[in-house]
Amino acid sequence: MFAAVLDTCVLWPSLQRDLLLSLAAEGVYRPLWSDRILEELEYEEARKLEDRGATAEQAQVRAAALIGQMNGAFDDSCVTGWERLDGTYGLPDPDDEHVVAAAEFAGAGAIVTMNTKDFPSDRLPPSIGIQTPREFALNTVEVSPTAAAVAVRTLADRSGQQGRKRSPQSILDDLDRIYSMSEATMLIRPLIT
């Protein structure tokens, strides 16, 4: 199965993260991350929640719960052993070296990131491509539009369990509007009834 490392910046926006992980739950690809990516995500998620009004303690508890849910749902996604490769790529931002190290060590075919300029292709192993979330969503949905439609329906069902029921169409609308994923959502819309 195709595997991709999801960078922190891709996992931080809630709906984008939920879509990408829901696609993975449908077996379209295997998500990967490192403990360092999860540490960064937990920190950024707590900051986001505090900015939205949660107390520091509430934010930390909810951010830790998110990481626990991700690890529980994808118990083989956290790459270990990448540390020996860290610092060997000469990336523009040395703080991004761990992402490539995890991808190479795990045999990932892609790194999904918003920071494409921080991962110049001439510094990466040739087997690893860089994709934005928009590109990755399209490529992944093209593999199985039916599985993608199931993933969006699951997102809608989960929103109801969280007390704010959303329709699959409204989720697709937000993916278009907020994340510019219109190419991917165009393939899913006809399959959502």
Percent with pLDDT over 90 in the chain: 92
Sign of the dihedral through C-alpha 70, 71, 74, 76: positive
Interval 33-38 mean pLDDT: 96
Q: What pLDDT is recorded for position 105? A: 96
**Of residues 82, 99, 83, 86, the one with CA closest to residue 41:** 99
| pLDDT range class, residue 58, cuts 50, 70, 90 | very high
Query: What mean pLDDT, rounded, does the chain reach?
Result: 95
- Show the tokens assigned to 117: 């300029």
Model pLDDT for residues 99-120, shown as the tens digit of each residue: 999 999 999 999 999 999 999 9
Q: What is the pLDDT of residue 165?
A: 86
135-170 per-position pLDDT tens digit: 999 999 999 999 999 999 999 998 866 667 899 999
Report the percent of the chain where pLDDT is more than 70: 98
pTM more than 0.75? yes
The mean per-residue pLDDT over the stretch 123-127 comes to: 96
Residue 181's identity, in one-letter code, is: M
End-to-end CA, the chain: 29
Over range 67-76, report the average pLDDT: 96
* Residue 162 pLDDT: 61
pLDDT of residue 163: 63
Measured distance CA(167)–CA(173) in Å, rounded:
10
